[in-house]
Amino acid sequence: MAGQGARATPRASGPPPAAGLVAATARQRQSMRGVRVAVLNFREPLQSVAGGAEEYAWQVSRYLIGQGASVTFVTSREAGQSAAEERDGIALRRMGNPFLVYLLVPLWLLWRRRSFDAVIDCMNGIPFFAPLVVRRRTAVVSLVHHVHDRQFHAFFPRWLARIGCFVEGPVARLVYRRRATVTVSESSRNELRERLGWLAPIQVIPNGSPVARPVANVGDTTGDPAVVYLGRLVGHKRVERVVDLAGDLAGAWPGIHVHVIGRGGERERLAAHAARRGLEDRVHLHGFLPEAAKNAILGAARVNVTASEFEGWGLTVIEAAALGVPTVAFDVAGLRDSVRDGVTGWLVREGEALADVVDRALRELSDPARREEIQQACRLWAAEFTWGRTGATMTGLITTELSKNGRHLHVSDPCLATGETDPP
């Protein structure tokens, strides 16, 4: 789930300072009035394995509604879901399973190509090819969280992975070459250029973060220390690596417990994995939790651990940081942006073991003064990211793209109508 933090770092491609943004956003209110936007995304936030990409698309949609736009969020359909509904002022249209959605959505958009002024085409490995079906004057913004090529090879047969890589690379590169692209971190932008040879201009618009709310019953979480994982329970998140910490570190930390918060198809497999290792008493699979209960466990943890090697940013990293909890994560694209190594967490470098870095983090956090320093740095870092800032910057980009196509909107502050991009 990109962005710069509490210490002095370059801000050229990032959002404007918070005080200026608040004033500018107030002047920008209703600047998108009458603009019709389609947001195309693989999933929507209420689906069973929705994650940070869905939250990003939904929060941007909510912001656009607040600026006067009408938004239709087009996505796949899970069993038991209605084909159409309205939520938060957003018109939801669901169609197809995780495979058919990539055929049905372009056909749906082709039939309604005169109904939209702008399209946000979210590419989760496979794009929706909006530029091929909309009118030439329709503004299309391609949103890419991270490059999926290694993920294709990790989880699909070789022939299917090669097709995925071909579509994500040469095909998408040409289809979107004249369309603005958004990604969420500097390392994802670098990967788009270096690994996919991306031709279009790319703007970094970081994820926002939920406002940290007071945490009740902080001391009730089992474990001293308590280690937490927050996120989807899907294969590429490698949550079993976090579960293994309960056994791998038990010698050095006899009171260690691991708390896993989230839903997904891997839950039963994780429970079986913990049972095989005799860790049932040390591993707690909480499933999906209401906000207060989630924050109580997350805020009481000593450290948050993310074991994935495929991330565009790491929304849960910032969610933990907002509660003063640092993260241990692998030094991979996206996560190396959201975790400031040695400041708001620790990165697992090539050749290092996850358990060794978590052990080092726990030892460092055992010093109360050092722990307080890290907690403060985490909170300051998380405060850099808000969904209002994300939405305002995306709105500015859309208005710029619309103006190129002859539609001029009234945007009072130029910092919201433009954003620095790297040259194509």
Token pair belonging to 212: 């940290």
- Between the alpha carbon of residue 95 and those of residues 46, 71, 217, the distances in Å are 15, 17, 42
DSSP string, 129-142: -GGGTS-TTSEEEE
Q: Kindly give, in sequence order, each residue whose CB lies less than 8 Å from that of residue 173, ignoring residues fewer than 6 positions away.
A: 196, 197, 198, 199
User: Are 228 and 304 a contacting pair, CB within 8 Å?
Assistant: yes
pLDDT band, residue 247 (cuts 50/70/90): very high
pLDDT of residue 311: 78
pLDDT of residue 154: 65
Read off the pLDDT of residues 368-416 as tens digits, 9 standing for 90 and up: 999 999 999 999 999 999 999 999 999 999 999 999 877 655 443 434 4
The burial class, CB within 10 Å (0-12 / 13-18 / 19+), for 218 is middle
Looking from the CA of 408 toward its CB, the CA atoms found within 13 Å total: 1
Mean pLDDT of 226-233: 93
> Rounded to a whole number, what is the distance in angstroms from the first to the last CA of the chain?
23
Helices 52-66 and 387-404 meet at what angle, rounded to 10? 70
Distance in angstroms (rounded) separating the CA atoms of residues 328 and 325: 10
Provide the 3-class DSSP secondary structure of residue 85.
strand
Q: CA 324, 327, 333 angle in degrees (round to 5)?
A: 130
Which helix (H) or strand (E) covers residue 397, if one does?
helix 387-404
pLDDT of residue 22: 45
Read off the pLDDT of residues 208-222 as tens digits, 9 standing for 90 and up: 887 766 555 544 578
Read off the pLDDT of residues 73-111 as tens digits, 9 standing for 90 and up: 999 999 999 999 999 999 999 999 988 999 999 999 999
DSSP state of 318: H
Q: What backbone phi and psi angles, to 5 degrees, belong to 181?
A: -120, 140
pLDDT of residue 54: 92
pLDDT band, residue 27 (cuts 50/70/90): very low
Mean pLDDT of 25-30: 48
pLDDT at 140 over 80: yes
Please report where in the chains the tokens 């924050």 appear, as a residue. Answer: 295
Token pair belonging to 310: 């495929």
Read off the pLDDT of residues 173-184 as tens digits, 9 standing for 90 and up: 999 999 999 999
pTM: 0.79
Architecture, CATH, for domain 218-382: 3-Layer(aba) Sandwich (3.40)
pLDDT of residue 26: 45
DSSP lists the bridge partners of residue 36 as: 70
pLDDT of residue 29: 52
Read off the pLDDT of residues 29-75 as tens digits, 9 standing for 90 and up: 557 899 999 999 999 998 887 888 899 999 999 999 999 999 999 99
DSSP string, 341-393: BTTTEEEE-TT--HHHHHHHHHHHHTSHHHHHHHHHHHHHHHTT--HHHHHHH
Task: Please give the distance of CA 241 from its chain centroid, rounded to a whole number.
Answer: 21
Rg for the chain, CA atoms, rounded: 21
User: Are 203 and 13 a contacting pair, CB within 8 Å?
Assistant: yes
pLDDT of residue 214: 55
Q: Where in the chain is the domain with CATH 3.40.50.2000?
A: 18-208+386-417, 218-382
Q: Does domain 18-208+386-417 have CATH number 3.40.50.2000?
A: yes
Distance in angstroms (rounded) separating the CA atoms of residues 49 and 98: 12
